Amino acid sequence: MWAGLSRIGSVAAGALLLAGGLLSNPVLADTDGQSTFVTEDKSMAFGFTVPDIKDDDFFFTIRFPKEYAWGAIGLGSEDMDGALVLMVYVRSPPFLLRHKRHLLPRYARGHYEPAYYPNFEYRTLPGTGVTDNHFVVSAHCLSGCRSWPGGYIDVSDDNQKAIFALGPKETFRSNDPAAPLRYHSRYGSFKIALGRTRGAGDAPEVSDGSSNQGTEPHMQRNGRWDPKSTMHAVFMILVFVVLLPLGVFILRIGNSPKWHAVNQFISLLGALVGFALGILTSFHYQRSRKFVSSHQVIGYLVIAGLIGQFVVGVMHHIRYRRREGTGKLTPVHVWVGRIVIFLGSINAFLGFQFALVSMYNLILAGIIILLTAVSCLFTFHQGLRSRILRRSSAGSGFAFPKSSASGAGASGGFNREPWRSSGLDDDAVPYRDSTVDSTAKRGGGGGGATDLSRQEYSPPRADWPHGRPCHAREEQ
């Protein structure tokens, strides 16, 4: 039925466009019998009339600047919950009908994107189109108009509650009546007298010169954005694109498991905050309220992987300190870590797509390329690397190898995974850390930098109760 009426509307609007010029001079009713609401900044206007003849219909006109993605009026409530939402946005262009407005009735049940309401039947009226850079929709609601799931309006009452909202300033087109929407940039509430508008059944007139008539503005707010969603993105990108790769860098180039652990722990906390914000944001939108979109599912897996990584990392370190050998934990830790960082970064791209802001993916790609270039420079640029090495030898806190177990030479270079290095088996020392350094110093080694070529791994001996001599435990 909705589709049928929509088609009638399309034909009406199409005929109007073909007639040419008519849109800018619509035939509209006398403004005396209507109630009109105009927002403080005059951007949005809404006119309402109730015809005498039938008992389930009304006429209305909505007008707002065309730079907004969508505009909406909600009837029957002073907040979102329980409002019948007269939602307007532009249809994807099928040739001549490209300027046809889309009126998409919805109902709201709380502080989240209103759901599509197919029982609302209407026909669009002359006057619908683009006038003076404003979208204008004039329509006659035929049924499902005065009561809806969760609310109703009393058309004889002169003190009815209503709300309005405008989407973000951007181009938005969709043929889907339940199309996913972005958060409002302006919203507010007002009171409207409906009883006084009873009379001839005509489309109300609204224009640049309209002023409040039979309405009383209540609350209006500007420039709202979805803070939870934005903070969710900030935390997640910081963790998966910056901090976690930095943790790898700290371990591989800085050779500091301690700071690696600290960094990865901070990342885990950040990811958990981002996760909580993601869950809270999910309640705002129809697209996310079922919690099963690919972005959300990948998010669960990545967060689970990250928690697992932390547990494995701690176990790995405990076993290493006890000289029990890390067994197969090291490659698991390394590979799960790589997968988590990769999937997490990919999920950031999916997140922007999910939030209907795919253009931010270009910025994200730019950040990733820049960070990759910087880390490659630090990893492979000999001069830069040896300068860092010199500084670390002078006691800057980071411990860089003068020579690598992989045989990369005294000038440094890429460190192979230690379990692959010659002389170390799968259960051997998985990384070089301060414990090993201090052992080296006890053995008479000087300097802040670790010399791996001098480290020897001693397999546990049966006559040592903890796999090493008691004095070694006492010293620690």
Catalog residues that contact ligand HEM under the rule CB under 6 A: 72-74, 79-80, 83, 85, 87, 111-114, 163-165, 181, 183-184, 187-189, 226, 229-230, 232-233, 236-237, 240, 275, 278-279, 281-282, 284-285, 288, 291, 295-296, 299-300, 302, 344, 347-348, 351-352, 354-355, 357
Host H or E run for residue 346: helix 329-354
Residue 139 or 429: the one with the smaller Cβ distance to ligand HEM is: 139
Q: How far is the CB of 242 from ligand HEM (least distance, A)?
A: 11
Residue 260 or 295: the one with the smaller Cβ distance to ligand HEM is: 295
Residue 48 or 431: the one with the smaller Cβ distance to ligand HEM is: 48
Query: How far is Cα 118 from Cα 92, in angstroms, rounded to an integer?
Result: 20
Instruction: Report the Cα 241 to chain-centroid distance in Å.
Output: 15
Q: How far is the CB of 325 from ligand HEM (least distance, A)?
A: 32
3-state secondary structure of 438: helix
Query: How far is Cα 203 from Cα 176, in angstroms, rounded to an integer?
Result: 26
Q: Which amino acid is at 249?
A: F
CB 63 within 8 A of CB 134: yes
Q: How far is the CB of 220 from ligand HEM (least distance, A)?
A: 9
Closest C-alpha among 166, 149, 164, 48 to residue 108 = 149
Q: How far is the CB of 123 from ligand HEM (least distance, A)?
A: 21
Q: Which amino acid is at 342?
A: F
Q: Taking the CB of residue 446, how many other CB atoms lie within 10 A of it?
A: 8
Residue 114 or 127: the one with the smaller Cβ distance to ligand HEM is: 114
Q: How far is the CB of 337 from ligand HEM (least distance, A)?
A: 14
Query: How far is Cα 11 from Cα 299, in angstroms, rounded to an integer?
Result: 45
Residue 347 or 450: the one with the smaller Cβ distance to ligand HEM is: 347
3-state secondary structure of 162: strand
Q: How far is the CB of 326 from ligand HEM (least distance, A)?
A: 27
Residue 250 or 348: the one with the smaller Cβ distance to ligand HEM is: 348
CB 434 within 8 A of CB 450: no
Buried b (16+ CB within 10 A) or exposed e, 135-149: bbbbbbbbebbbebe
Residue 130 or 272: the one with the smaller Cβ distance to ligand HEM is: 272
Q: How far is the CB of 282 from ligand HEM (least distance, A)?
A: 4
Q: How far is the CB of 65 from ligand HEM (least distance, A)?
A: 16
Q: Who contacts 304 (Cβ-Cβ below 8 Å, separation ≥6)? A: none
Residue 48 or 275: the one with the smaller Cβ distance to ligand HEM is: 275
Q: How far is the CB of 423 from ligand HEM (least distance, A)?
A: 38
CA dihedral for 340, 341, 347, 348, sign (positive or negative): positive
Query: How far is Cα 19 from Cα 259, in angstroms, rounded to an integer?
Result: 72
Q: Which two tokens stand for residue 307?
A: 């928690």
Residue 246 or 424: the one with the smaller Cβ distance to ligand HEM is: 246
Strand partners, 151: 148
Query: How far is Cα 79 from Cα 274, in angstroms, rounded to an integer?
Result: 28
